[in-house]
Structure 1
Amino acid sequence: MFGGFGLFQEQFRPFNNLYRCYSVAMSGTERSDIEKGGKIIMPPSALDTLTRLNIVYPMLFRLTNCRHNRFTHCGVLEFVADEGKVFLPYWMMKNLYLEEGSMVQVESASLPVATFSKFQPQAPDFLDIHNQKAVLENALRNFACLTTGDVIAINYNDKVYELCVLETKPGSAVSIIECDMNVEFAAPVGYKEPQRLGNNHITEDDENIGEVSESEDMSTDTQTSFLPFVCKGHRLDGKNKELSPNETTNGKTVARSQRRGIPDYDYKLGIVRFIRTTKPTVKTDQTNDKKSDFEAFKGDGKPLVTRRHN
C-alpha cells in the first residue's frame, strides 16, 4: 500500500535533468528553423520520461545556468538529439552565458498566457522595416514563450535583428502560444531624435549663402536684367534662323520688349470685359486727313452682249 502511494507521488514529480548544451551548428545538420525561434532539441529519453510524468501541454521548459545564475524559458521542437545532449539556438546560449559543452539544467515549467509585451531594438536599423509589428508577429510564431530580460533574435530579409524583452504581462515569463498579445516598442539603442532648428538660428552655411547672394546682387547691378525665354532657335531642316533687325544688335540677340496686360480699374463683380490693346495711331499730314474721292461700287456698267440699235 505504501509502495503504491509512493508510485503515485512519483508520477506527479516535475521533469528535471542536466544536459550538455551545444549550438545548432554542432549538430552536423543545417537547421535554420532552430536559429529563427525559441525552441530546443532534446534526446529521445527525455520524451520517454515526460510521457510518464504529469506534464502540462504544450511542453515548456526552464533552462538554468547554475554557474552564472542565468535562466530563460523555451519550448521543444524535436526529440532527436544524442543522449545527454541538447541543442540550443545561438542567441539563447549568449543569454545564458553558455559555451559549447557546458552543463545546463532543464526542468519543466508552467507559464501564464501572455497579454502584453514590450521590446527594445538593439540597433536603429530596425526602424528601416516598414511594418515592425507584422514582422515581429511573424517571427514570434517560432517561439513558445518569452522571458523578461532576454535578447531574442529574429531574421528578416537575410538580416538578424536583436530585440530585448523589456516587459511581459501577467508575469516575468509568459507563454505566447495561441494568445492575443499587445506589443509595444521602445526607442532603439543608440537612436537620436532629429534636432529641429529654430527660425532665429543661423548656421555657417546660411551665412555663406547670404554672402554669396550679396555678391551676386552687386554683380547683377552692373549687368542687364534677366530676360526669360531668350535663346537661339533651331530649325528642323538644320538651317540657321534668319533674325530680324529688331532681334539683333551688334551681333547679339536681344529680346523683344514685352507688352503687359492693361488692368481694368472699373471692374465690377459679374461683368467681364475683354480689353484689347490697339496699335497707336500715327499722326499724318493735313493733306492725308482729307477723305479720298474713291467710292466703292461706283463705275460704268458694260453688258456682255452688245445690242444693235435700228
Structure 2
Amino acid sequence: MFQFGGFNMIFPDVGRSFQSSYKCFSVSMLPGNERHDVEKGGKIIMPPSALDALTRLNVEYPMLFKLINSKKNRNSHAGVLEFVADEGKVYLPYWMMDNLLLEEGDIITIESVSLPVATFSKFQPHSTDFLDITNPKAVLENALRNFACLTTGDVVAIKYNKKVYELCVLETKPGNAVSIIECDMNVEFEAPVGYKEPGHPKKEEKPEEENVENMEEDVNTFSGSGNRLDGKKKKEAQLSQPVMKKILARGIPDYDYKIGVIKFDRNVKPISDRVQKEEAIASEPEDFQGQGFSMKKSRK
C-alpha cells in the first residue's frame, strides 16, 4: 500500500503464481474416515494455509496445479478437492504418486498454473480386459468427471464394476497438459497393450504325390457285398459264384480303370475268326422249312 497526497492506493498481487513445498502422502494416510472418492479422481487435498495464500493472490478458477518431483525430474497436473490437510502436508491419489515416483513423506513442490481447455485426448489401456467393457467411452467419460486436468504421459486409473483399469494418456490437444472442466473433448482409444488381432489360419498345401495316392484310395472306396433293390437276399449260388468280368462294348466306360495304366482295346476280330464263323452258320440246318398255309379259306 502506497500513500500519495492523502490517497490510499492498493495494488493487489495480480499475476503472481502460488508456489509451495509439502510432504506428500497417499490418501490412505489421511486421518479420519477413508476417502475413496479421492482415489477415483485426479484431485488432491491441501492444507487451509494454501487456500489463504491462493485467495490473496487472486488465482484464477478453477484452481489447477503443477506437481513437481525435483529429485526424479517428474511432473504432473491436478486439481484440488478440499483444503483440510494437516499443515505442511498434501494428500494425493496413489496412482498419481506412482506417476511422480514419490514415496510416503517425500517432498513435492506445488505451483498454480493456467491450462488450455482440452479438445482432444487419446488413451491406451494397459490390459486387454478393458475390451470387455460394453461402452468404454461412456465409462471413461463418467470417470473423468472426478478429474480436473490431464497430462500427456500419465497413467490414470479408473474404477468400474469393482475393478481398476489403468490407461496411459498418449496425447492431449492443444497442449501436453489440458483442463477438462466443462469442455467438449474428442476421445480416441489405442489398441490395449498386448492385444493381437485374430488371424486366419493358413491351409497347408499337400504335395501332388499325396493327392494322387488319395485318389487311388478313393477308387477302391466302394467295396463290400451288394444288395437287391427289392429287399430280398441274394441266393447262395450268387454269393458263391465268382464274378466274371465282361468285355465292355464301345461307348461304355471302364469302371475298373486304374490311374497310371493305359489300355488299348481292339474290337476288330482277325479275318480267320470271321471266316470260321461264317462257315459254321452255313453248315447249320434250316429250322424253318416246308409249305405255308393260310388261315382263311380261299373262295372257289
TM-score, with normalisation over the residues of structure 2? 0.66
Residue 16 of structure 2 corresponds to residue 13 of structure 1: yes
Q: 1:89 aligns with which of 86, 93, 100?
A: 93
Q: Please name the residue that 2:166 is paired with.
A: 162
Distance 2:183 2:79 in 1: 16
Q: Is the 8 A contact 1:14 1:54 kept in 2?
A: no
Q: Please name the residue that 2:194 is paired with.
A: 190
Q: Is the 8 A contact 1:153 1:162 kept in 2?
A: yes
Q: Please name the residue that 2:108 is paired with.
A: 104
Residue 27 of structure 2 corresponds to residue 24 of structure 1: yes
CA 1:126–1:2 in structure 2 vs 1: closer, same or farther (change >3 Å)? same
Q: Is the 8 A contact 1:146 1:175 kept in 2?
A: yes
Q: 1:202 aligns with which of 199, 204, 216?
A: 204
Gaps of at least 5 residues in structure 1 are 204-214, 226-245, 247-310
Residue 124 of structure 2 corresponds to residue 124 of structure 1: no
Instruction: Say how many residue pairs are matched.
Output: 219
Amino acid at match of 2:110: V
CA 1:97–1:2 in structure 2 vs 1: closer, same or farther (change >3 Å)? same
Distance 2:36 2:99 in 1: 19
CA 1:136–1:9 in structure 2 vs 1: closer, same or farther (change >3 Å)? same
Range 123-132 or range 5-14, more displaced? 5-14
Aligned-pair CA distance for 1:12: 3.6
Distance 1:150 1:81 in 2: 25
TM-score, with normalisation over the residues of structure 1? 0.64
Distance 2:59 2:13 in 1: 13
SS across alignment from 1:17 = strand
Cα-to-partner distance string for 1:94-146 (whole Å, 9 max, x where unaligned)? 00000000000011010000000000001111111111101000000000000
Amino acid at match of 1:69: N
Aligned-pair CA distance for 1:10: 3.8
Q: Is the 8 A contact 2:126 2:168 kept in 1?
A: yes
Aligned-pair CA distance for 1:221: 5.6
Q: Is the 8 A contact 2:28 2:34 kept in 1?
A: yes
Distance 1:54 1:11 in 2: 6
Gaps of at least 5 residues in structure 2 are 206-216, 232-300
Cα-to-partner distance string for 1:145-189 (whole Å, 9 max, x where unaligned)? 000000000000100000000000001100000000000000111
Distance 2:37 2:200 in 1: 44
Distance 1:122 1:3 in 2: 62
Distance 2:179 2:197 in 1: 34
Q: Is the 8 A contact 1:11 1:52 kept in 2?
A: no
